[in-house]
Chain A
Amino acid sequence: MYFPRGTANSLNALRRRRGPDACRSEFHKLRASRRAYAAGLVNDPNLSFATCFALLPELRGWQPEGELCPRVRTAVRLCEIIRTDKSADGNAVHPRYDEATRDALRWMFASGEEADGMDADFDRTVDISACVLLKIYHEEEILPGVVRLMFRRNRRGSCLHDLAWAFFQSAGPRALRSVAERLLSPSAKDAELARLLLHLPQAGNSRREKRAQYARYLDWLEENRPYLSPTDEGLCATSSPHACAVNLSAKYLNRKPRAGGPEDAPPLTESEKGCLACFSAAQPEERELLAHFSCKLHEKDPLRWSEWIRRPLEKQIRAARGGEADR
């Protein structure tokens, strides 16, 4: 096999054209005859993670280790941990979540997506790289890729559980919106998965019904966006998980979270504490109504809102039931 000098694309091309086994076999011969050149091909920034994964048996235990670039070395180590930790024993040695790991994971996910379905262990490794990137490094830039992969897998009927878990870990407004767009898909499978991930009921399949559900969801998202937080739910726990929950107390008080998280929020004023005590006395369905009403009224007429929120609970509920904010 001829490997043109100075490019890793020949390995990628070989894997795509003739499959992972042929790629590994040719690389094995190259390694035996032209070791430094073989290492150079693997270290090339253009190498796809799928090709690296195909070459794992050749790369594991490569000595001296320093001949491989840090990204490949880290990726090989991560693949090994993921491969050996599928049992319920949970005795894996976990990696340090440092910048080198982050860099390797970004590469694994970004360049791995193109070869989705190549092999079950490969898919699992790509999925777990997404899990770590979202949960540890909060790399929300990968969410569109995660959503794309989930829907592609769903159409094929293949595993999407770990990706769904990753999605549930950090389902922010951007990710929710990108899932909501699939409600409009002509594919019934897409719309069904979108409804599952967004916790929406079954809707009709006509274009009009799909558009109506989509529009309602976007309205809901717009209203609740500042008050959303991920839940501990997922497809492992329940058949109808909530990706995120609305902080009704914050919505009722119109206290939008700060960029620094809950710790960054100023303490509640005495007046807010009083309002919250009143709110807490309401029944769960009344709280939802009050939070919605409060949000709408505050947006429309802040002066009327500050008068309303000081009323006794029963009067607040009566106003909310009467839809005072719409007048």
Chain B
Amino acid sequence: MITVAGKRPDSGTLAGFADGSLKRNILSVLETSTHRYAFDTAAQLEFELALRQATVEAAHSLYGSGLRFAVFRDAAANPAYWNVTRDGGFSLKRGAPPARAILDIFENGSAYATECATAMMIVLYGALVKVYGEARFNRLFPQIELMNWHRLDPRLQSFGSLERKDDYFPGDRRYIANPDVDPLTPHWQGENVIELGGGLFYGHGIGIRDAGSIIRSLNRNRVDGATRSAYLMDAAGRPDYRRLAALAAP
């Protein structure tokens, strides 16, 4: 159930900003859920829908960018914008425009290589550039560190933590754990994915597939005699939409 400023909004209000099928799908889950999703303003709800849609679009775009998979020690980035840190993270170069640096990963993906968690952060930053626009994004995020779930901007911290949710939506960051992974290939310990809707997920290095197919890939990298299958965790990481919406206000 959705409430805006404590009241149920009429369907006309909602239809006004659910201008795409993805947003409509999210709205439909929000409305039919037994959980109460409370928004202070209609703009807050609209922002969350827009950022979720942008996250899904950024995931598709990153998939098509040619970004390579690499373990941290083999991480690579375009030196025009990024320094690769000793632990395999990317650190925005002094003087580099943040939005351009993020968009460069989507436009020149083959110049970059990283693992699946950092790719999730790239997706989120790509979506934020889209919803804020380059000028505002540059003001809001003058320093960017991309390093799995560490050195996160405090405003994006909750995207890095996993919590059980009542419902899951396109744009959520999910995790498929592989508890019996062969320790010789620990990079197969699990896959960070973005939920895309329609039962599909984007995982860097694995592509766009349904959960069953990703689980089968992970299971092929288990130790001999494994008894536990990889599984989609009943949890998600979400940015603090309310806080990010406040940053979008003129």
Give 7 nearest A-B pairs by CB, closest first: A88-B205, A239-B160, A239-B149, A131-B183, A135-B183, A88-B69, A120-B73
Q: Which of B72, B160, B217 contacts A238 (CB 8 A)?
A: B160
Residues of A participating in the B interface, judged by any CB pair closer than 8 Å: 81-82, 85-88, 90, 92, 94-95, 97, 120-121, 123-124, 128, 131-132, 134-136, 153, 156-162, 165-166, 169, 232, 234-240
A238 touches B179 (CB 8 A): no
Q: Is the CB of B175 within 8 A of A132?
A: no
The A/B interface has a contact count, at CB < 8 Å, of 107
Decide if A235 touches B184 in the complex (CB within 8 Å): no
Residues of chain A lying within 8 A (CB to CB) of residue B224: 94, 97
On whether the beta carbons of B220 and A90 are closer than 8 Å, the reply is yes
Chain B positions 62-111 with a Cβ under 8 Å from a chain A Cβ:
69-74, 85-88
Chain B residues close to A by CB (< 8 Å): 69-74, 85-88, 115-117, 148-150, 152, 157, 160-162, 175, 177, 179, 182-190, 192, 205-206, 217, 220-221, 223-224, 233, 237
- Given contacts A94-B182, A135-B223, A238-B160, A86 and B187 within 8 Å (CB-CB): yes
Assembled-state Cα–Cα distance A87/B183 (Å): 15
**Residue of A134, A166, A232 with most partner-chain B CB within 10 A:** A232
11 A-B residue contacts at CB 8 Å? Answer: A90-B188, A94-B184, A121-B73, A135-B183, A157-B85, A160-B87, A161-B148, A161-B186, A232-B177, A236-B190, A239-B157
Given contacts A81-B184, A160-B87, A238-B149, 13 further A-B contacts (CB under 8 A): A86-B187, A88-B187, A97-B223, A120-B74, A161-B148, A165-B189, A235-B150, A236-B117, A236-B189, A237-B117, A237-B162, A238-B161, A239-B150
A135 to B224, CA, bound (A): 12
Q: How far is B224's CA from A232's CA once the two chains are assembled, in angstroms?
A: 18
Asked whether, in the complex, the Cβ of B184 is within 8 Å of the Cβ of A237, the reply is: no
B184-A128 in contact (CB<8A): yes
Residues of chain B lying within 8 A (CB to CB) of residue A121: 73
Set of chain A residues within 8 Å of B217, measured between Cβ atoms = 90
Query: Which of A88, A128, A240 has a CB less than 8 Å from the CB of B186?
Result: A128
Q: Is the CB of A159 within 8 A of B87?
A: yes
